[in-house]
Structure 1
Amino acid sequence: MISNAAKAQPRGASRPKGLETAARVRKAALKRFAASGYAAVSMREIAADVGVRPGALYNHFPTKQDILKDLMLSHMADLLQAWDSADFPEKMDPLERFVRFHIRYHLEKTDEVFISYMELRNLEPDNFDLVEAERRRYEAILTGILQDGAARGRYAVTEPKVATRAIIAMLTGIPNWYREGGRLAKHDIEDIYLELARKAVAPGATPPLTGDRMT
């Protein structure tokens, strides 16, 4: 008669291996999607990179779409967790804290950032809604900073949500062009973009609209 401990051992032993394989699938897919684009990558190619038969992938991700959704949701979860645990001086201006955090994090996660923004179009509607909800959670952090700053007279923002998306889009574009070893170091980039963000929301920095707009 086989003991309960003996029965449980194979399951317990296979679980870490299964988690390890799933992690390898994510890593291989991340690299492939970033290099070639989601639509051009096949499950067979991912399986070859991992070193398993294509059918083995389905034990972890039923479809390629599930891999993409997992990568995007994992990216957002890691981003939010990193923000919660970020270590900045308490007296640092909140906008400066956000700008510096966003740039530092995203320059370390260039493939994840590229996929999270460029492959949104390839998410199925339900998956898009899940990812978009997490993106809104992150955007809400900056929106709250701008709203609070406006209430205190520190910033001039009439549409905090629009300003949030404009600032985040500006910051998120940095990994597309920045390369190590160039004329500007990372801290230089932080300083330049912080100044741009501050000027965008500075009281009195923007003249009132005249109403004469090009159509």
Structure 2
Amino acid sequence: MARKQGSHADITGPKVRDAALRLFARHGFAAVSMRQIAAEVGVQAGALYLYTPDKQTLLFDLMRDHLEDLLASWQVPEGSAVDQLEAFCRHHIRYHLDRPELVFIAYMELRNLEPENFAVIEALRRQYEDRLEMILRAGQAARSFDLPDSKLAALAIIAMLTGVNTWYREGGRLARGDIEAIYWDMVRKAVAA
């Protein structure tokens, strides 16, 4: 039986990706088998190959799509470098808090990518880092920011902002807006001239 009755490519394909995402985030890429993914979806293991050539491709597709969506969702707003940096910080937190499993996989499973896939993901990550670095350089030029190294500052800011996902729980003592405001204040003080 290759396909479950009522199964459709436009329904089952996303279910395969969602199941892989949940299982990779919960157990780690190396510990998850295609059989486990198939069982989670409710199809025979062989049916998965109608939707993906292999587990590596599933991991790569999840990471690539996450980064492409992140890049597409960020548009530099009009305004000063300070305004742009605030918008970047708030956007980064909002975007990532809504996708904790993808964030976990995007950082923790890089080691499991084959070299050619790793190169693609690294290039996408660099594009995102470069967007922040451009804001920081504009702030340096306007003397709004005092940074010894804009690249290092960009990496440090992204690491700090992404770290929210390691501890944040919906319904906790701080609302999302409060977290955005506190993190923005910390970033603003870290780059202040």
TM-score by length of 2: 0.91
1:160-195 CA deviation, whole Å, 9 max, x = no partner? Answer: 111000000000010110112222111111111111
Higher alpha-carbon Rg: 1
**1 CA distance for matches of 2:41 and 2:126?**
33
Q: RMSD across aligned C-alpha pairs, in angstroms?
A: 1.7
**1 CA distance for matches of 2:126 and 2:107?**
13
1:134 CA displacement: 0.5
Where do residues 96-115 of structure 1 align in structure 2 (5 Å cutoff)? 96-115=86-105
**1 CA distance for matches of 2:177 and 2:78?**
16
Aligned to 1:28: 19
**2 CA distance for matches of 1:200 and 1:121?**
30
Q: Which amino acid aligns with 2:91?
A: F
1:145 to 121, 135, 146: 135
Aligned to 2:46: 55
The alignment status of 1:180 with 2:175, answered yes or no, reads no
- C-alpha spacing 1:103/1:73, structure 2 compared with 1 (3 Å): same
The alignment status of 1:193 with 2:155, answered yes or no, reads no
Aligned to 1:170: 160
Q: Which amino acid aligns with 2:141?
A: A
Where do residues 56-135 of structure 1 align in structure 2 (5 Å cutoff)? 56-84=47-75, 93-135=83-125
Percent identity over paired residues: 55
TM-score by length of 1: 0.82
- C-alpha spacing 1:127/1:60, structure 2 compared with 1 (3 Å): same
Which is worse superposed, 49-58 or 34-43?
Answer: 49-58
CA contact (8 A) 2:132 2:154 kept: yes
Can you give the 5+ residue segments of structure 1 that lack an aligned partner in the other structure? 1-15, 204-215
Aligned to 1:4: none
1:89 CA displacement: 7.7
1:15-49 CA deviation, whole Å, 9 max, x = no partner? Answer: x9323322111011001011111111000010111
Q: Which amino acid aligns with 1:54?
A: A
Q: Which amino acid aligns with 1:56?
A: A
Q: Which has the higher contact order (CA 8 A, sep 6+)?
A: 2
Q: Which amino acid aligns with 2:183?
A: Y
**2 CA distance for matches of 1:32 and 1:116?**
14
1:102 CA displacement: 0.3
CA contact (8 A) 2:78 2:84 kept: no
What is the SS of the residue equivalent to 1:26? helix
